[in-house]
């Protein structure tokens, strides 16, 4: 049996008895929230807002929050996950191996990390903009459009080159809270990211064995990949 075939077989045996939950989408959500918070709008007096209030909530919960929190000043942005779909165009089989070189800061030497191919998915988000004034609403949509020109590079602990695109902008304005004087305008921006669900990573030793690892590693490449903490064990 070839070395890579043996590695694949060993990993598949480990994976059968070990199922770890990876909330990878939370990293994307945090990135989008931080990005939306940077949006600046100019009011009628020429003043610029300090920070755009942004939070995670589906549209129904966001409406409830607007009703409950009387201190929440519009405009605000809410972000929610719409769907996670399989992406057959970028699909790779579990026979594919990923090999990465890492740097062990403690031992001051490079090591090899091996894993099966991550799962390709389409991650969809809904960005809802809530405002009392059309001018503010249009300024925010304009800022978001400029972020995606034509795509937005999302950087997380799992990847540094995930691209996201705007797929739709819809006007959902209605009297969603209070009476007519409290009418709130809303636009929804649908965003789709070509994401990957990460798989377990194992330390591949010089003897060809998969070893227990519990350390912070840094991927050695020129794309500025993120630092990951890997603590799972093949025998755990």
Q: What does the domain layout of the chain look like in residue ranges?
A: 3-86+119-198
Nearest-angstrom CA–CA distance, 99 and 117: 10
CB atoms within 10 A of CB 67: 13
Pick the residue with more confidence: 25 or 143?
143
Pairing state between β 76-86 and 210-211: unpaired
The model's pLDDT over 124-178, given as tens digits with 9 standing for 90+, comes to 999 999 998 999 999 999 999 999 999 999 988 777 789 999 999 999 876 555 4
User: Are 54 and 41 a contacting pair, CB within 8 Å?
Assistant: no
34-48, 90-104, 177-191, 215-229: range with lowest mean pLDDT: 215-229
Q: What is the pLDDT of residues 34-90, one digit of tens each?
A: 999 999 998 878 888 878 999 999 988 998 888 787 778 889 999 999 999 999 998
Question: Which residue, chain included where needed, has tokens 């990949």?
Answer: 225
Superfamily covering domain 3-86+119-198: Myoviridae tail sheath stabiliser (3.30.2000.40)
Say what percent of the chain tops pLDDT 90: 37
**β partners of residue 122:** 85, 194
Measured from the Cβ of residue 14, the count of other Cβ atoms closer than 10 Å reads 17
**Greater pLDDT, 161 or 205:** 161
Measure Cα distances from 198 to 29, 30, 195 in Å. Answer: 16, 17, 9
């Amino acid at each position: 049996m070839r070395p890579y075939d043996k590695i694949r077989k060993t990993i598949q045996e480990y994976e059968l008895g070990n199922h770890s939950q990876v909330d990878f989408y939370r990293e994307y959500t945090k990135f989008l929230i931080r990005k939306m918070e940077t949006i600046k709008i100019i009011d009628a007096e020429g003043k610029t807002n300090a920070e755009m209030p942004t939070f995670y909530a589906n549209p129904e919960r966001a409406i409830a929050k607007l009703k409950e929190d009387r201190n929440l000043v519009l405009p605000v942005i809410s972000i929610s996950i719409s769907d996670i779909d399989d992406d057959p165009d970028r699909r790779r089989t579990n026979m594919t191996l990923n090999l990465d070189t890492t740097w062990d800061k403690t031992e001051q030497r490079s090591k090899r990390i091996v894993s099966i191919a991550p799962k390709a998915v389409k991650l969809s988000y809904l960005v809802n903009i809530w405002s009392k004034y059309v001018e503010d609403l249009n300024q925010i949509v304009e800022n978001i459009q400029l972020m995606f020109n034509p795509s937005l590079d999302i950087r997380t602990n799992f990847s540094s080159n995930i691209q996201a695109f705007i797929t739709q902008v819809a006007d959902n304005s209605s009297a969603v809270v209070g009476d007519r004087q409290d009418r709130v305008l809303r636009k929804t921006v649908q965003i789709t990211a070509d994401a990957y669900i990460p798989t377990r990573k194992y330390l591949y030793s010089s003897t060809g064995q998969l070893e227990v690892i519990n350390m912070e590693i840094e991927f050695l490449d020129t794309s500025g990949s993120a630092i990951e903490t890997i603590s799972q064990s093949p025998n755990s």
